[in-house]
Amino acid sequence: MSRVLAAAGADEPSTEAVTRALIEASTRGTDSHGIILFPRYVQALEGGRVNGRPRLRYEQRAPAVGYLDADNGFGHLAGYRAIAHAMEAAAKTGVAAVAVGNSSHYGAAACYSLAAARAGFAAFSFSHSDAVVALHNGLTAFNGTNPIAFAAPVPGEEPLSVDLATSAAAWNRLVVIERRQGRLPPETAIDAAGADAATLEQAAALLPLGGRAFGHKGAALAAMVEVLCSVFCTMQHGFRLLNMAGPDFSTPRRLGHFFMVLDPKVFLPAEDYAARMRAYLDDLRAQPAVPGERVQAPGEPEAREAERRRRDGIPVDAATWSGFEALAERYGVAMPVPISG
C-alpha cells in the first residue's frame, strides 16, 4: 500500500499514517474500515480530493486546547498528529482537547484513541461524515455515521476500547455484510417509504443507533458528535458535506475530527488506577453468559482477533483483492504473496 500511495504522489508521513491505520483496523477485525478502503483512498488522492503532501499547521490556543489544520490531507495523518499533540498537552494539564479542520476520512476512530491508551492515556476520538443516516422518525439522510471511540489503558493487557457508529451500523460495515450475505440485516437501512431496505442500492438512509423504536438515542449521540466536529472544528455539518462515494473526487471534503485525552495519573495514583481497572474487568468477565456465548469487555473481541490475524494473516475478499491487483498493475508495484488461497 505504501508503494502505491508514494507512486500516486503521497509523501512519506501520509503513506505511513494511512498504512498504519488500515493495517491496525484490519488486524483487529474491523474490516469495514481497513484495507477494503484503500482503493477509495487512492482514488481520492488521484482526483485531488486529498492532498498527498499537506502542510499541517498546529496552533496551541490555550494550555489544554489545540487546533490542527490538516490542509486537506489524509485524515489518518491528521488523526495521529492530533492525538500526539493532545497527549503532549495532557501530560502537562491533565486533560486536553484538539480539534481538527480541513481533513478527510480518517478510517477507524479507535486507531487514535488506542494510540493514546497504549501510551498510558485515556482518550476519546470523534469524527463526522456526509449525510447517510436518517433522524429518528425521519425518511431521508441527515446525519453522518458520526463514530465515537474511547480507549483506556489496562496494565498487562490491551486497552479497553469502545468504537461505534451512531447509526445502526457503519456504512462500510454494511458493505462488508452485503458482500458476504447478499442482503442487509433488518432495521439497519430504510428505503424511500421507510420500509427495511434489502440492499444499499435500495437504501435511502441508514437507521440511527437504536433502530425504529429507540433511534432517538443514536440521533442524539450523532448530534453531539456533529457539534464537536463541525461547530468546534469550524467545518460544515454533515448534511452539507460532499459524499465520500463521489462522484466528485476533485473537491476536498473538509471534515472535522475532535480528540480529548486524559492523564489517569492526575486523577489517582497509578497503582490505584491499575487495581480499580482490574477489579472492574474481573467482575465484568465473571458475569454469567447465555448458553454458547461469553461476556467480554469492550475491545476484547478485537484484541483476540488481532492475535489470530497476526498469526494467520488478514483475510481478503475477492473484490478487495481485485482492486489491489488493478492498482498494482497501474503503478507497476508487485502484489503481496498470499499466505493461502
* 277 to 78, 153, 273: CA distances (angstroms): 30, 9, 6
Cell 434489502, residue located: 198
Cell 490556543, residue located: 61
CATH match for 56-270 among 3.90.870.10, 3.40.50.1220, 3.50.50.60, 3.30.1370.60: 3.30.1370.60
Terminal-residue alpha carbon distance, the chain:
20
pLDDT tens by residue, 113-128: 999 999 999 999 999 9
Residue 140 CB neighbours (<10 A): 12
- Measured distance CA(175)–CA(35) in Å, rounded: 13
- Measured distance CA(165)–CA(125) in Å, rounded: 12
The dihedral region occupied by 302, where left means phi > 0, alpha psi between -120 and 50, and beta the remainder, is alpha
* 29 to 36, 41, 47, 166: CA distances (angstroms): 12, 19, 29, 19
pLDDT tens by residue, 24-78: 999 999 999 999 999 999 999 999 999 999 999 999 999 999 999 999 999 999 9
pTM as predicted: 0.96
Q: Give 167's DSSP letter.
A: B
CB 7 within 8 A of CB 331: yes
Q: What is the pLDDT of residue 341?
A: 56
pLDDT bucket at 155, cuts 50 / 70 / 90? very high
The dihedral region occupied by 153, where left means phi > 0, alpha psi between -120 and 50, and beta the remainder, is beta
pLDDT bucket at 172, cuts 50 / 70 / 90? confident
Q: What is the pLDDT of residue 339?
A: 76
Residue predicted with more confidence, 83 or 175? 83
Cell 487546533, residue located: 67
Residue extents of the structural domains in the chain: 56-270
